[in-house]
Amino acid sequence: MRLKIVQVGEAVLRQRAKQLSVAEIRSRETQELIEWMRQTMYDAPGVGLAAPQIGLGLQLAVIEDRPEYTKDIPVQITKERERKPVPFQVIVNPKITLDGDANIEFFEGCLSLASFTAVVPRARRVKVECLDHHGEPKVLEASGWHARILQHEIDHLQGTVYIDRMYPRTFMSVENYTRYWKDKSISEIRKLVGFE
């Protein structure tokens, strides 16, 4: 089942989501919801989807960055983004710790802000303590693009979207990003847009 992805302007995207109990996580309803969210993420396509994005104020998100998503991206760009495939993950009630020593900047999009993108600074490394789809505790330590995805999805659970963190001068349509910017390094973008 494909779920409707709500767009910025919906109140649920600006509210802190509710935590789930272990019993709620293990319920048939939540297990079905996780599978529907997974299919919706694939269909979009996207690398993450948080429950608020489908109109539910729950501390639940799904993540997966499939190898085929990067097959047409030049190697130097995937290297700059520190992007590697990420297996399917479910995060529930996450607590994130940012490694503040190093930030990385790159364009970021959102299924709830369709057809737009902007450069967003994010921590290079994070640690996430959460529950998995069985309600079992787990700890994720991630860097690069995986860390970016986790930060983006966990922001959704707190009522934050990437436009709250972006460099405003870099906000543009995905069409123009693809036409003019997709093959540029972040240092070139910084110079051209003037946010150094």
Could you read off the pLDDT of 108-130 as tens digits, one per residue?
999 999 999 999 999 999 999 99
- Spatial separation of the C-alpha atoms in residues 68 and 61, rounded to whole Å: 21
Q: Amino acid identity, residue 196?
A: E
Could you read off the pLDDT of 157-185 as tens digits, one per residue?
999 999 999 999 999 999 999 999 988 88
Collapsing DSSP states into helix, strand and coil, what is residue 71?
coil
Active site residue 10: no
- Which whole number is the average pLDDT over 17-35? 98
| CATH numbers and ranges of domains, the chain | 11-193 (3.90.45.10)
Model confidence band, residue 147 (pLDDT cutoffs 50, 70, 90)? very high
**Catalytic-labelled residue, pool 64, 105, 108, 153:** 153
Beta-carbon contacts of 44 under 8 Å, excluding residues fewer than 6 positions away, are 5, 111
Model confidence band, residue 21 (pLDDT cutoffs 50, 70, 90)? very high
- Which whole number is the average pLDDT over 51-77? 91
Q: How far does Cα 2 stand from its chain's mean position?
A: 19
Bridge-based pairing state of the strands 86-109 and 116-131? antiparallel
- Spatial separation of the C-alpha atoms in residues 40 and 33, rounded to whole Å: 10
- Cβ distance 134 to 158 under 8 Å? no
